[in-house]
Amino acid sequence: MPYLPLYFTEDLGMSVGAFGVFMAVSSLSGVVVNSLIAKRSDSGLDRKWLLIAAALSCALGYASYLAFHNFFILLIVVSILNGLGAAAIPQIYAYAHESANASQSDDKALAVSALRSLISLGFLVGPLGGTFLLAAAGYRGLFLVTSALYLAIATLVFVFLASRKANPRLPGKSNASDATSLSNRQIRQPFIAFFLLFMVNAMNLINTPLFIVNELHGTHTDVGLVVGICAGLEIPIMLLLGALGRKISNHTLMMTGSVIAVFYFVILSVSNDPLQLIVAQLLQATFVAIVMGNGLSYFTTMLPNSPGVATTLYANASTIGRLAGTLGSGIIAQYAGGDRFIGCVWRL
């Protein structure tokens, strides 16, 4: 992912604005497909085959970067294929939730947090692996290996995962659809809250490096330390919070995480040295661990009989929030300045 903007602007000669449009459309296509699949996946569809189809779609999606170089053709093809592939994350979460139910485990929160921590580990390992691939084989090798990884995922799912169908809804449960839709206030309000939380996190990821270099006159090494320390702390904190899931409610954890985020952005707004931000990453890592790890458990606990819908709500809030944060952060930073940007985020 970190090398896509470079590929578009350097190899394909597209503008940054065109790349932004491309990412926005392809991200929103994933939201649409996830929403269409969610309720059907809880009505008797086999999640194993959904996962295989999603992985194969992603494999074709990344291979298409090498086959097409026209912006509009690439936009259509990637939006369709990666849109279908976007179901992989919510459906693997839903599969894991149902597996935990089938095992009658009393540590479901820990199981989900452990799964989510592996995604954080992937965010640590992936860019590093991409650096070596890019140096050794260029973008062709990078996209081919990414496609091969998705093919490997599809193969592993086919060989090792058992078929798992959700129990179809019983007759007379016609109101179940309304109970799991955004028209329901109890669903809509948490969805909006998570959208805002993911938006704030995206704004922080994009603008904090600029804040360190341009406002605090730090170095790129300082930026690397801030990002690396935060990512490294997320995983143990996420596992710890997952282990505490039986003792502390997800609602309490989410409220605590929001308060921690306020303190973090207050520190950013008054800091005058990159070292202060490095120390403050303990707060940011805790906030991210709560939102990313226990946030999923929040939705699955709220909708225990609809894991596909629950995980899709979480995934869609994440996607739309990151998209809004990516677009909004640049506008705020450009017209309000660095200090006001930080203030806008923590007040939000």
CA separation for the pair 78, 84 (Å, rounded): 10
Q: Which of 343, 209, 210 is nearest to 270 (CA)?
A: 343
Looking at residue 73, what is its pLDDT?
92
Q: What digits encode the pLDDT tens for the residues 74-101?
A: 999 999 998 899 889 888 888 887 887 7
> Which residue, 79, 85, 96, is CA-closest to 51?
85
Q: What is the pTM of this model?
A: 0.76
In the CATH hierarchy, which fold is given to the domain comprising 182-347?
Growth Hormone; Chain: A; (1.20.1250)
Tokens at 161, concatenated: 């995962």
Report the pLDDT value the prediction gives residue 337, as an integer from 0 to 100.
56
Q: Where are the domains of the chain?
A: 4-106+137-160, 182-347
Summarised one tens digit per residue, pLDDT across range 103-145 is 776 666 677 777 877 877 887 788 778 888 888 999 999 999 9
Residue 175 has pLDDT above 60, yes or no: no
* Rounded Cα–Cα distance for residues 234 and 251 (Å): 19
State what percent of residues in the chain have pLDDT above 70.
Answer: 87
